[in-house]
Amino acid sequence: DRRDGVQDTDTFEDLVDALEVMGFTQEQQDDVFSIASAVLHLSNLSINPIKGGEECEIDAENEHLEPILKLLGVTKENLNQALCYFKIEARGQSYTRAVQKDKAEKGLEALMKATYSAIFDYIVKRINASITVKKKGSISETGGGRRSKGGDSGNAFIGVLDIFGFESFKVNSFEQLCINYCNEALQQQFNLFVLKNEQDEYEQEGIKWSFISFPDNQDALDLIWKKGYGILNILDDQCRAPGTTDKTFANDLYQKLQGKPRFEANFRQVGARQFGVFHYAGLVEYETDGFVE
Protein backbone atom coordinates (compact mmCIF):
# COMPACT_ATOMS: atom_id res chain seq x y z
CA ASP A 1 0.00 0.00 0.00
CA ARG A 2 1.21 3.48 -0.85
CA ARG A 3 1.72 5.81 2.12
CA ASP A 4 0.47 8.84 0.19
CA GLY A 5 -2.92 7.20 -0.39
CA VAL A 6 -2.68 7.57 -4.17
CA GLN A 7 -4.21 4.72 -6.18
CA ASP A 8 -2.07 3.75 -9.15
CA THR A 9 -5.18 2.80 -11.10
CA ASP A 10 -6.38 6.39 -10.82
CA THR A 11 -3.21 7.79 -12.42
CA PHE A 12 -2.58 5.11 -15.04
CA GLU A 13 -4.58 6.93 -17.73
CA ASP A 14 -2.54 10.08 -17.05
CA LEU A 15 0.61 8.03 -17.49
CA VAL A 16 -0.56 6.64 -20.84
CA ASP A 17 -1.52 10.14 -22.01
CA ALA A 18 1.93 11.43 -21.04
CA LEU A 19 3.65 8.62 -22.95
CA GLU A 20 1.58 9.42 -26.03
CA VAL A 21 2.44 13.11 -25.78
CA MET A 22 6.14 12.18 -25.60
CA GLY A 23 5.81 10.17 -28.81
CA PHE A 24 5.82 6.61 -27.47
CA THR A 25 4.06 4.29 -29.90
CA GLN A 26 1.62 1.66 -28.65
CA GLU A 27 4.25 -1.04 -29.20
CA GLN A 28 6.84 0.93 -27.21
CA GLN A 29 4.37 1.48 -24.37
CA ASP A 30 3.61 -2.25 -24.27
CA ASP A 31 7.32 -3.03 -24.13
CA VAL A 32 7.88 -0.59 -21.24
CA PHE A 33 4.99 -2.05 -19.23
CA SER A 34 6.08 -5.62 -20.01
CA ILE A 35 9.61 -5.05 -18.76
CA ALA A 36 8.41 -3.23 -15.63
CA SER A 37 6.06 -6.15 -14.93
CA ALA A 38 8.87 -8.64 -15.51
CA VAL A 39 11.03 -6.91 -12.90
CA LEU A 40 8.18 -7.11 -10.38
CA HIS A 41 7.74 -10.82 -11.07
CA LEU A 42 11.51 -11.38 -10.81
CA SER A 43 11.41 -9.99 -7.27
CA ASN A 44 9.18 -12.92 -6.32
CA LEU A 45 11.23 -15.62 -8.03
CA SER A 46 12.70 -18.24 -5.67
CA ILE A 47 15.86 -20.32 -5.99
CA ASN A 48 16.27 -23.74 -4.37
CA PRO A 49 19.52 -25.35 -3.19
CA ILE A 50 20.40 -28.77 -4.63
CA LYS A 51 23.18 -31.33 -4.16
CA GLY A 52 23.61 -30.55 -0.50
CA GLY A 53 23.68 -26.81 -1.07
CA GLU A 54 26.66 -26.90 -3.41
CA GLU A 55 24.46 -25.99 -6.39
CA CYS A 56 21.05 -24.43 -6.95
CA GLU A 57 18.24 -24.11 -9.45
CA ILE A 58 15.25 -21.92 -10.18
CA ASP A 59 12.09 -23.06 -8.41
CA ALA A 60 10.10 -24.55 -11.31
CA GLU A 61 6.92 -24.49 -9.20
CA ASN A 62 7.09 -20.76 -8.54
CA GLU A 63 3.95 -19.12 -9.92
CA HIS A 64 5.88 -16.08 -11.13
CA LEU A 65 8.24 -18.07 -13.35
CA GLU A 66 5.89 -18.45 -16.32
CA PRO A 67 5.07 -14.70 -16.56
CA ILE A 68 8.80 -13.92 -16.33
CA LEU A 69 9.64 -16.23 -19.21
CA LYS A 70 6.82 -14.85 -21.34
CA LEU A 71 7.53 -11.18 -20.62
CA LEU A 72 11.31 -11.42 -21.12
CA GLY A 73 11.12 -13.87 -24.02
CA VAL A 74 13.55 -16.39 -22.54
CA THR A 75 13.40 -20.08 -21.74
CA LYS A 76 13.54 -21.58 -18.26
CA GLU A 77 16.76 -23.39 -19.19
CA ASN A 78 18.49 -20.20 -20.33
CA LEU A 79 17.39 -18.22 -17.27
CA ASN A 80 18.49 -21.02 -14.96
CA GLN A 81 21.87 -21.20 -16.73
CA ALA A 82 22.37 -17.44 -16.42
CA LEU A 83 21.52 -17.30 -12.70
CA CYS A 84 22.84 -20.59 -11.35
CA TYR A 85 26.04 -21.05 -13.36
CA PHE A 86 28.99 -19.00 -14.55
CA LYS A 87 31.78 -19.45 -17.05
CA ILE A 88 35.50 -19.05 -16.56
CA GLU A 89 38.21 -19.11 -19.19
CA ALA A 90 41.68 -20.46 -18.60
CA ARG A 91 44.39 -21.19 -21.15
CA GLY A 92 41.97 -20.76 -24.01
CA GLN A 93 39.42 -23.18 -22.52
CA SER A 94 35.96 -22.33 -21.19
CA TYR A 95 34.62 -24.01 -18.05
CA THR A 96 31.15 -23.87 -16.53
CA ARG A 97 30.79 -23.84 -12.75
CA ALA A 98 27.70 -23.88 -10.53
CA VAL A 99 27.04 -21.27 -7.86
CA GLN A 100 25.37 -21.65 -4.50
CA LYS A 101 21.94 -20.22 -3.67
CA ASP A 102 23.18 -16.98 -2.05
CA LYS A 103 25.34 -16.14 -5.09
CA ALA A 104 22.47 -16.89 -7.47
CA GLU A 105 20.17 -14.60 -5.45
CA LYS A 106 22.76 -11.83 -5.72
CA GLY A 107 22.81 -12.40 -9.46
CA LEU A 108 19.02 -12.19 -9.56
CA GLU A 109 19.13 -8.86 -7.70
CA ALA A 110 21.75 -7.58 -10.16
CA LEU A 111 19.56 -8.66 -13.10
CA MET A 112 16.57 -6.74 -11.71
CA LYS A 113 18.63 -3.60 -11.09
CA ALA A 114 20.27 -3.70 -14.52
CA THR A 115 16.95 -4.30 -16.28
CA TYR A 116 15.20 -1.49 -14.43
CA SER A 117 18.15 0.84 -15.05
CA ALA A 118 18.09 0.06 -18.76
CA ILE A 119 14.36 0.78 -19.14
CA PHE A 120 14.75 3.98 -17.10
CA ASP A 121 17.58 5.17 -19.37
CA TYR A 122 15.51 4.28 -22.43
CA ILE A 123 12.53 6.33 -21.23
CA VAL A 124 14.75 9.34 -20.46
CA LYS A 125 16.39 9.17 -23.90
CA ARG A 126 13.01 8.90 -25.64
CA ILE A 127 11.69 11.92 -23.74
CA ASN A 128 14.82 13.93 -24.52
CA ALA A 129 14.55 12.97 -28.19
CA SER A 130 10.93 14.08 -28.30
CA ILE A 131 11.70 17.57 -26.96
CA THR A 132 14.89 18.16 -28.97
CA VAL A 133 14.56 21.26 -31.12
CA LYS A 134 16.49 22.22 -34.22
CA LYS A 135 17.70 25.72 -34.86
CA LYS A 136 18.25 27.04 -38.33
CA GLY A 137 21.65 28.62 -39.01
CA SER A 138 21.52 32.33 -38.31
CA ILE A 139 23.82 35.25 -38.81
CA SER A 140 24.02 37.93 -36.15
CA GLU A 141 25.85 41.22 -35.84
CA THR A 142 28.75 41.27 -33.39
CA GLY A 143 31.06 43.99 -32.18
CA GLY A 144 33.30 45.57 -34.83
CA GLY A 145 30.84 44.92 -37.63
CA ARG A 146 31.73 41.21 -37.83
CA ARG A 147 29.15 38.55 -38.42
CA SER A 148 28.98 35.16 -36.70
CA LYS A 149 26.87 32.13 -37.45
CA GLY A 150 24.67 30.66 -34.75
CA GLY A 151 24.67 26.97 -33.87
CA ASP A 152 22.91 24.54 -36.16
CA SER A 153 21.02 22.82 -33.40
CA GLY A 154 20.17 23.06 -29.75
CA ASN A 155 18.71 20.75 -27.14
CA ALA A 156 15.86 21.53 -24.79
CA PHE A 157 15.70 19.47 -21.66
CA ILE A 158 13.69 19.04 -18.50
CA GLY A 159 15.57 18.55 -15.25
CA VAL A 160 13.90 16.95 -12.25
CA LEU A 161 15.66 17.17 -8.89
CA ASP A 162 14.28 15.32 -5.89
CA ILE A 163 16.33 16.42 -2.88
CA PHE A 164 14.13 14.77 -0.27
CA GLY A 165 14.66 11.18 -1.38
CA PHE A 166 16.23 9.80 1.80
CA GLU A 167 15.66 6.06 2.06
CA SER A 168 15.05 4.16 5.27
CA PHE A 169 13.69 0.63 4.95
CA LYS A 170 13.43 -2.34 7.25
CA VAL A 171 16.78 -3.49 5.84
CA ASN A 172 19.20 -0.81 4.57
CA SER A 173 22.45 -1.69 2.81
CA PHE A 174 25.19 -0.20 0.65
CA GLU A 175 22.72 1.05 -1.96
CA GLN A 176 20.76 3.07 0.61
CA LEU A 177 23.98 4.56 2.01
CA CYS A 178 24.98 5.80 -1.47
CA ILE A 179 21.53 7.24 -2.11
CA ASN A 180 21.41 8.94 1.28
CA TYR A 181 24.92 10.35 0.84
CA CYS A 182 23.83 11.97 -2.45
CA ASN A 183 20.79 13.41 -0.75
CA GLU A 184 22.92 14.79 2.09
CA ALA A 185 25.04 16.62 -0.50
CA LEU A 186 21.96 17.92 -2.31
CA GLN A 187 20.43 19.04 0.97
CA GLN A 188 23.59 20.99 1.79
CA GLN A 189 23.45 22.72 -1.61
CA PHE A 190 19.81 23.57 -1.02
CA ASN A 191 20.58 25.03 2.40
CA LEU A 192 23.50 27.04 1.07
CA PHE A 193 22.08 28.48 -2.13
CA VAL A 194 18.43 28.81 -1.22
CA LEU A 195 18.33 29.57 2.48
CA LYS A 196 21.71 31.06 3.39
CA ASN A 197 22.34 33.10 0.23
CA GLU A 198 18.78 34.44 0.13
CA GLN A 199 18.98 35.59 3.75
CA ASP A 200 22.38 37.18 3.12
CA GLU A 201 20.81 39.11 0.25
CA TYR A 202 17.95 40.24 2.51
CA GLU A 203 20.50 41.62 4.97
CA GLN A 204 22.38 43.50 2.25
CA GLU A 205 19.17 45.08 1.00
CA GLY A 206 17.94 45.90 4.49
CA ILE A 207 14.79 43.78 4.18
CA LYS A 208 13.10 42.89 7.46
CA TRP A 209 12.38 39.21 7.85
CA SER A 210 12.38 36.47 10.44
CA PHE A 211 15.66 34.54 10.29
CA ILE A 212 15.24 30.90 9.28
CA SER A 213 17.67 28.66 11.12
CA PHE A 214 18.77 25.40 9.53
CA PRO A 215 21.19 22.72 10.71
CA ASP A 216 24.56 22.20 9.05
CA ASN A 217 25.00 18.64 7.79
CA GLN A 218 28.69 18.84 6.87
CA ASP A 219 29.56 16.43 9.69
CA ALA A 220 27.24 13.83 8.13
CA LEU A 221 29.01 14.22 4.78
CA ASP A 222 32.39 13.91 6.52
CA LEU A 223 31.28 10.76 8.31
CA ILE A 224 30.46 9.09 5.02
CA TRP A 225 33.18 10.35 2.70
CA LYS A 226 35.92 12.32 4.52
CA LYS A 227 39.39 11.17 3.56
CA GLY A 228 41.03 9.20 6.33
CA TYR A 229 38.01 7.99 8.27
CA GLY A 230 34.83 8.21 6.17
CA ILE A 231 32.69 5.08 5.88
CA LEU A 232 33.23 4.80 2.12
CA ASN A 233 36.97 5.37 2.48
CA ILE A 234 37.15 2.62 5.08
CA LEU A 235 35.23 0.39 2.67
CA ASP A 236 37.70 1.20 -0.13
CA ASP A 237 40.60 0.20 2.10
CA GLN A 238 38.85 -3.04 3.03
CA CYS A 239 38.19 -3.90 -0.62
CA ARG A 240 41.86 -3.38 -1.52
CA ALA A 241 43.16 -5.57 1.29
CA PRO A 242 43.27 -9.38 0.87
CA GLY A 243 41.03 -11.63 2.93
CA THR A 244 38.64 -8.96 4.12
CA THR A 245 34.96 -9.66 4.79
CA ASP A 246 31.86 -7.78 5.88
CA LYS A 247 32.80 -8.69 9.45
CA THR A 248 36.28 -7.12 9.20
CA PHE A 249 34.69 -4.05 7.58
CA ALA A 250 32.20 -3.73 10.45
CA ASN A 251 34.94 -4.11 13.07
CA ASP A 252 37.01 -1.43 11.31
CA LEU A 253 34.02 0.93 11.41
CA TYR A 254 33.49 0.39 15.13
CA GLN A 255 37.17 0.94 15.85
CA LYS A 256 37.63 4.11 13.79
CA LEU A 257 34.22 5.81 14.04
CA GLN A 258 33.06 5.16 17.59
CA GLY A 259 32.38 8.53 19.17
CA LYS A 260 32.27 10.43 15.86
CA PRO A 261 29.36 12.84 15.37
CA ARG A 262 26.37 11.33 13.58
CA PHE A 263 27.63 7.74 14.03
CA GLU A 264 25.88 5.13 16.16
CA ALA A 265 26.94 1.60 17.07
CA ASN A 266 25.32 0.39 20.28
CA PHE A 267 25.63 -3.07 21.82
CA ARG A 268 22.71 -4.48 19.84
CA GLN A 269 23.98 -3.07 16.55
CA VAL A 270 27.52 -4.35 17.06
CA GLY A 271 26.18 -7.82 17.81
CA ALA A 272 24.21 -7.78 14.54
CA ARG A 273 27.04 -6.08 12.58
CA GLN A 274 24.96 -2.96 12.00
CA PHE A 275 25.63 0.76 12.34
CA GLY A 276 23.52 3.89 12.34
CA VAL A 277 23.95 7.29 10.69
CA PHE A 278 22.06 10.35 11.88
CA HIS A 279 21.23 11.87 8.50
CA TYR A 280 19.70 15.28 7.89
CA ALA A 281 16.34 13.50 7.63
CA GLY A 282 16.87 11.30 10.70
CA LEU A 283 18.52 8.09 11.87
CA VAL A 284 19.03 5.28 9.35
CA GLU A 285 20.35 1.90 10.47
CA TYR A 286 22.50 -0.04 7.99
CA GLU A 287 23.35 -3.73 7.66
CA THR A 288 27.00 -4.35 6.73
CA ASP A 289 26.16 -7.63 4.95
CA GLY A 290 27.13 -7.28 1.28
CA PHE A 291 29.18 -4.09 1.62
CA VAL A 292 32.57 -5.62 0.80
CA GLU A 293 31.15 -7.81 -1.96
Using the 8-state DSSP alphabet, how is residue 196 labeled?
A: I
Q: Are 164 and 154 in contact (CB under 8 A)?
A: no
Rounded to two decimals, the pTM is: 0.60
Q: Helix or strand or coil: residue 210?
A: coil
Q: Are 215 and 280 in contact (CB under 8 A)?
A: yes
Number of Cβ atoms within 10 Å of the Cβ of 132? 12
**Confidence category of residue 198, pLDDT binned at 50, 70, 90:** confident
Cα gap 8→15, rounded to integer Å: 10
Q: CA angle, corner 86, sides to 80 and 90, nearest 5?
A: 155
Residues 6+ apart with CB under 8 A from 259: none
Beta bridge partners of 95: 88
Residue 153 has pLDDT above 90, yes or no: no
Q: Are 164 and 281 in contact (CB under 8 A)?
A: yes
For residues 214-233, average pLDDT:
91
Residues 6+ apart with CB under 8 A from 283: 264, 276, 277
Residue 130 has pLDDT above 50, yes or no: yes
Q: What's residue 166's pLDDT?
A: 85
Span 30-58, pLDDT tens digits: 999 999 999 999 999 999 999 998 999 99
